Chain A
Amino acid sequence: EVQLLESGGGLVQPGGSLRLSCEVSGFTFNNYAMTWVRQAPGKGLDWVSAISLSGGHTEYADSVKGRFTISRDNSKNTLYLHMNSLRADDTAVYFCAKCSSTCSTKWFDSWGQGTLVTVSS
């Protein structure tokens, strides 16, 4: 059974940093691209970032480019999202998701349950 478990969310002050983790099981991690999607309270889905199988290629939404960094450790079956210079509008539930192969031209076929990030003073 495919499982994705996010952790690392919490309350952080504006301008602060946080690192989210997504530990996966049930599939061969290094065979799939991975992605992060967020959802602000009461709002829709907002794609954040994606990373290739090896980690050598990354993509970002304009809203997080230069502030967030996606990475992966294939030896630990873990995906990360390093978030710096956090703003109030980054407050959201952050989901990690498995892409069916690559992320572009395919689809997100498994999702974690999400971890809540709250940016507030």
Chain B
Amino acid sequence: DIQLTQSPSFLSASVGDRVTITCRASQGINSYLAWYQQKPGKAPKVLIYAASTVQSGVPSRFSGSGSGTEFTLTISSLQPEDFATYYCQQLNSYPLTFGGGTKVEIK
């Protein structure tokens, strides 16, 4: 099974900060990686798919990059509504797996 390791697991940041979250895969997954945002008590929402394609309706401050085994999610200027938990997911092969999550909190 492909393991995904997200770092950091917790991040404290201020409004306006640039934030980067890393996701490392235990083996190559091409660009079959998605990023999701989840707020407390809500369902996850896709932000990025195919490693770098921004889902329709998602603000342009969100971007993704990477291929193979190392990927990043970047929020260029953190907004109040961005405080949430972020998960990466590999869709290269079954079983489909998620990273452990990165909780972004207000400093």
Q: What residues make up the interface of A, taking CB atoms closer than 8 Å to B?
A: 35, 37, 44-47, 50, 59-62, 95, 100, 103-109, 111-114
B96 and A50: CB pair below 8 A?
Answer: yes
Q: Per-residue CB proximity of B30-41 to A under 8 Å, as 1/0?
A: 001010101000
Residues of B in contact (CB 8 Å), total 26
Distance A48 CA – B42 CA, assembled complex (angstroms): 18
B101 and A113: CB pair below 8 A?
Answer: no
B43 and A107: CB pair below 8 A?
Answer: no
User: Beyond A45-B87, A107-B46: 10 further Cβ-contacts under 8 Å?
Assistant: A35-B96, A37-B44, A46-B98, A47-B95, A47-B96, A59-B95, A62-B1, A103-B96, A105-B32, A108-B44
B92 and A105: CB pair below 8 A?
Answer: yes
B91 and A107: CB pair below 8 A?
Answer: yes
CB-CB under 8 A from A59, the residues of chain B are 94-95
- By beta carbon, the residue of chain B nearest A4 is B43
- By beta carbon, the residue of chain A nearest B55 is A109
Determine if B45 is an interface residue (Cβ-Cβ < 8 Å).
yes
A111 and B44: CB pair below 8 A?
Answer: yes
CB-CB under 8 A from B69, the residues of chain A are none
Query: Given A45-B36, A45-B98, A106-B49, is A95 in contact with B91 using a C-beta cutoff of 8 Å?
Result: no
CB-CB under 8 A from B42, the residues of chain A are 113
Distance A108 CA – B94 CA, assembled complex (angstroms): 14
With beta carbons under 8 angstroms apart, the residue of B34, B43, B87 that contacts A114 is B43
Distance A83 CA – B34 CA, assembled complex (angstroms): 28
16 A-B residue contacts at CB 8 Å?
A37-B44, A45-B38, A45-B87, A50-B94, A50-B96, A59-B95, A62-B1, A95-B44, A103-B91, A104-B32, A104-B92, A106-B49, A106-B91, A107-B34, A108-B46, A109-B55
Determine if B93 is an interface residue (Cβ-Cβ < 8 Å).
yes
CB-CB under 8 A from A103, the residues of chain B are 91, 96
With beta carbons under 8 angstroms apart, the residue of B32, B50, B98 that contacts A47 is B98
Closest 7 pairs between A and B when the two form their complex, measured CB to CB: A107-B49, A111-B43, A107-B34, A45-B98, A47-B96, A44-B101, A59-B94
